[in-house]
Amino acid sequence: MDFNIGVLAAAILFVSHWRETRQLPPETARRESRIERARKQAEAAFWKPVKEGDFIDGQVIKITEGRKFDSTFFHVKAEDGTIEIVAASKSTNLGKMLAEHPIDVLGYLCVLYLGEKPPKNGGNPLKIWSVVYDPPEVGKTPPADDETPF
Query: Over the chain, what is the mean pLDDT?
Result: 79
Query: For the chain, which residues make up each domain, given as ranges?
Result: 1-30, 36-147
Q: Could you tell me the fold of the domain covering 36-147?
A: OB fold (Dihydrolipoamide Acetyltransferase, E2P) (2.40.50)
| Sequence letter at residue 139 | G
Of 131, 128, 79, 78, nearest in space to 100 by CA: 131
- Residue bearing the bigger pLDDT, 85 or 119: 85
Q: Is the pTM of this model over 0.75?
A: no
Instruction: Tell me how far the alpha carbon of residue 74 is from its chain's centroid.
Output: 7
Give the percent of the chain with pLDDT over 70. 71
**Tell me: the pLDDT tens digits for 7-51?**
545 555 554 444 444 444 454 445 667 787 777 777 789 999 999
Read off the pLDDT band of 5 (50, 70, 90). low
Query: In the Cβ-directed half-sphere of 47, how many Cα atoms lie within 13 Å?
Result: 25
